[in-house]
Structure 1
Amino acid sequence: MTPAENTLGGRLLLLAPDNLTSDQHTLYTELKATMVPWAKKSGFQAETSDERLIGPFNSMLRSPLISKALMSVTAAEGAHTELSEKVRQVVILTVGAAWQAAYELYAHVAVAEKAGIDEHKIQLLAAGQKPEGMSIEEDVAYDFTHQLTTTHQIDPTLYERARVTFGEKGLVDMIYLAGQYMTISGLLNTFAVPAPS
């Protein structure tokens, strides 16, 4: 591990693969097989040069059984959502911006680029601003997620717009997705996890 990588755990030490408990090692193996390759493919870093997990994954190792359940929800959301990938990334970046979660924004700027969102729109979303020229679905997803994460209420007019746009299942899917990334952002911010430079 390089000296720069040593700071990537924030308030937590980065756990070495050789020093994990049995439950931690099971989760580590799952994350190495799923999240690390996805991160590489998406264009962001999820491990150090000596294979220590970074981002939310290092903190998740502290509670491996609950974290494994969270990863099951993440997999189910990805497999069964009604939301397009662009809409998903609008939701995730909106949550990350509201929480000012550095690593989350770093990772999902890269994922949003792969999803085909315009770079200028991505930068505005990451800065907590609503871009012009989004699709109807992206526009409604931004408004819904922004209101949910900042005021914690959805006003009747926006609710109706979102229901018409996404249907009831789509609304539930959007709430689940936002909630997952509120949890991830909570982990990142509590442990002051930075984005790699």
Structure 2
Amino acid sequence: MPAIEPSALSDEQRVLDEHVRRMMDGLQTPFTSTDENGALIGPFPVMLRFPALARPLLEWFTTVTSGSVLATRVREVAILTIGSRYGAAYELYSHSRVALAVGLSESVVAGLAAGQRPSGLTSEELVAHDVAACLYAGAPLPGALYRCAVESFGEQGTAELVFLIAQYSSISVILNAFDVPLPTDAE
């Protein structure tokens, strides 16, 4: 699904485009999110084509990310774990760069992207990985793992982790359904 040049956006799309750009500016993203014409890429061309469906997803994203109690590295471990399970190329591309920028090592990022449980994760990062991997498998979260998550992140942080995993599962499905391509600077 090709990007939509800013000059070709409808009024409804333009409002959503502006919202996405404000979100991206606040995240200081170390990955390419626009093409050479300034059009949003990644999952955003899909979202712009279906603004009524995308608005609630983006509002959910904003709700989960604002006031986050989880450490950024923990979040990125969970996101990469989900992205690898779905094989969501753009998610792996973008969040591998974010993970490196927040201090995860290249070997850890490579392992997560390959679907592994790499050594070099902190105990909290291991819990985030295990929760994401377990939930991706479609089974209930075992009580012992849930208790580990609550001990590591508190109830609020555990809920945030679960919602983050659900959110990036949704993004992965969208990326895969519409076969979202990687930008030219992707490795």
Question: What residue identity is the alignment partner of 1:49?
Answer: E
Query: What is the TM-score normalised by the length of structure 1?
Result: 0.87
1:52 correspondence with 2:3: no
Show CA shifts across 1:46-105 (max 9, x none): 111111211011111122133223222222222222210000000100110011000000
Query: What is the TM-score normalised by the length of structure 2?
Result: 0.91
Query: 1:165, CA displacement in angstroms?
Result: 1.7
Among 150, 163, 174, the residue aligned to 1:163 = 150
Give the secondary structure class of the aligned counterpart of 2:7.
helix
Structure 2 unpaired stretches of 5+: none
Poorly superposed stretches of 4+, deviation over 6 Å: none
2:162 alignment counterpart: 175
CA contact under 8 A between 1:42 and 1:114: conserved in structure 2? no
CA contact under 8 A between 1:27 and 1:64: conserved in structure 2? yes
Among 58, 69, 76, the residue aligned to 2:63 = 76
Show CA shifts across 1:115-135 (max 9, x none): 111111011001110111311
Show CA shifts across 1:113-160 (max 9, x none): 111111110110011101113111101110011100123321222122
The 3 A distance-change label for structure 1 pair 33 and 159 is: closer
Over the matched positions of the two proteins, sequence identity in percent amounts to 36
2:21 alignment counterpart: 32
Structure 1 unpaired stretches of 5+: 1-11
CA distance in 1: counterparts of 2:99 and 2:21, whole angstroms: 22
1:85 alignment counterpart: 72
Give the secondary structure class of the aligned counterpart of 1:169.
helix
CA distance in 2: counterparts of 1:33 and 1:78, whole angstroms: 14
1:66 correspondence with 2:53: yes
1:9 alignment counterpart: none
